[in-house]
Amino acid sequence: MPELPELEVIRRQIEPLMVGRTVSRVGTTAESNFFLTKPAVLKRHLSGRRVRALERVGKYLVASLDDGSRLLLHLGMTGQLFGAGVDSPRLSSPVARARSAVRTEKQKFKPDLHTHLRLSFRDGGQELFLRDVRRFGRVQVLKPGESCARLDRLGVDALVATGAHLFAMARKRRIAIKSLLLDQSVVAGIGNIYADEALFLAGIRPSRTACRLTGRQCIELMEAARRVMLRSIETGGSSIRDYLQPNGSDGGYQNERLVYARAGRPCVRCESPIVRTVIGQRPAHYCPKCQPAK
DNA sequence: CGTTACACCTGAGGGC
DNA sequence: TGCCCTCAGGTGTAAC
């Protein structure tokens, strides 16, 4: 679900709830693949720990703790982080949200069976909830100095990566350019929405073979990706299915998206119907005119 | 080694 | 109403 912009919005909102605070209680659901560190170990390890910093690395959130260990969070497809103080976070589909929107009275977040992690803090800090319906997300504790293949494997952060870097990586690869953008070891943070949006802005068809792009195109593509993601962060991210900000409100970027999940609707530039295909087992959307095959 | 297929999960929405 | 099917902001791994 969440990509770099959503993770960055989440990080900014969650940071003041975590940093400088000491964990008093840890609640979890039962052992599952969601917990790379078993719930019992997690509880023992986190209790009493003070959070020093909360950083984003690609699509991961990394909390540094006062004993030098780190708490790793990944939200997979449907992960959500909420602060306890939020009013009425609407947790289901847009349709269900619309239905429940008529309910006007405010409610505090209520943990349900999908709320897999619950952190309480001392000194009256707000509680923190991690909810993930599909459990594609992951939680892990790294001991002081412990390395982690998942993190080590990540490429340059997508907000920092240059077109020259993308070009250098693209030259060696025969996969579709869209698949290359989604490869977290090349550039970290881009997901399915922003890959499609960036390719549209750069006028490049997602199916084009990566190594056949010019240096100029790689520069334009990387710049488009950065522009789109920075704008999305400004608007609070894309709320299309499950994503909500930690404060419970929708993001705004879903209203600015130009191709993602707009199949059949007119291109904003040329009116041609947007096409949906599948590339690398993921849905891909593009304008057949503005993003030429060759 | 690069590329591709599939597995991991659940709930919403559409067709019959 | 209910069943069955398809679909989804991700990623690790097995198999070619």
User: With contact defined as beta carbons under 8 Å apart, do A178 and A199 qualify?
Assistant: yes
* Residues of A with a known catalytic role: 2-3, 59, 282
- What confidence tier does A175 reach under pLDDT thresholds 50, 70, 90? very high
- Distance between the alpha carbon (CA) of A162 and the C1' atom of C1, Å: 56
Task: Give the per-residue pLDDT at A91.
Answer: 55
Check if residue A135 sits with its Cβ under 7 angstroms from strand B.
Answer: yes
Structural tokens at position A140: 């892990």
Task: Give the per-residue pLDDT at A90.
Answer: 56
- Determine the average pLDDT of the residues in A181-199: 98
pLDDT digits 0-9 by tens, A12-43? 999 999 999 999 999 999 999 999 999 999 99
- What confidence tier does A123 reach under pLDDT thresholds 50, 70, 90? confident
Structural tokens at position A18: 């975590």
Check if residue A30 sits with its Cβ under 7 angstroms from strand B.
Answer: no
- What confidence tier does A150 reach under pLDDT thresholds 50, 70, 90? very high
Task: Give the per-residue pLDDT at A124.
Answer: 82
Q: Among A18-22, A51-55, A104-108, A143-147, which is the least confidently predicted range?
A: A104-108
Q: How far apart are CA A109 and CA A91, in angstroms?
A: 10
Give the residue with minimal CA–C1' separation from B8: A136
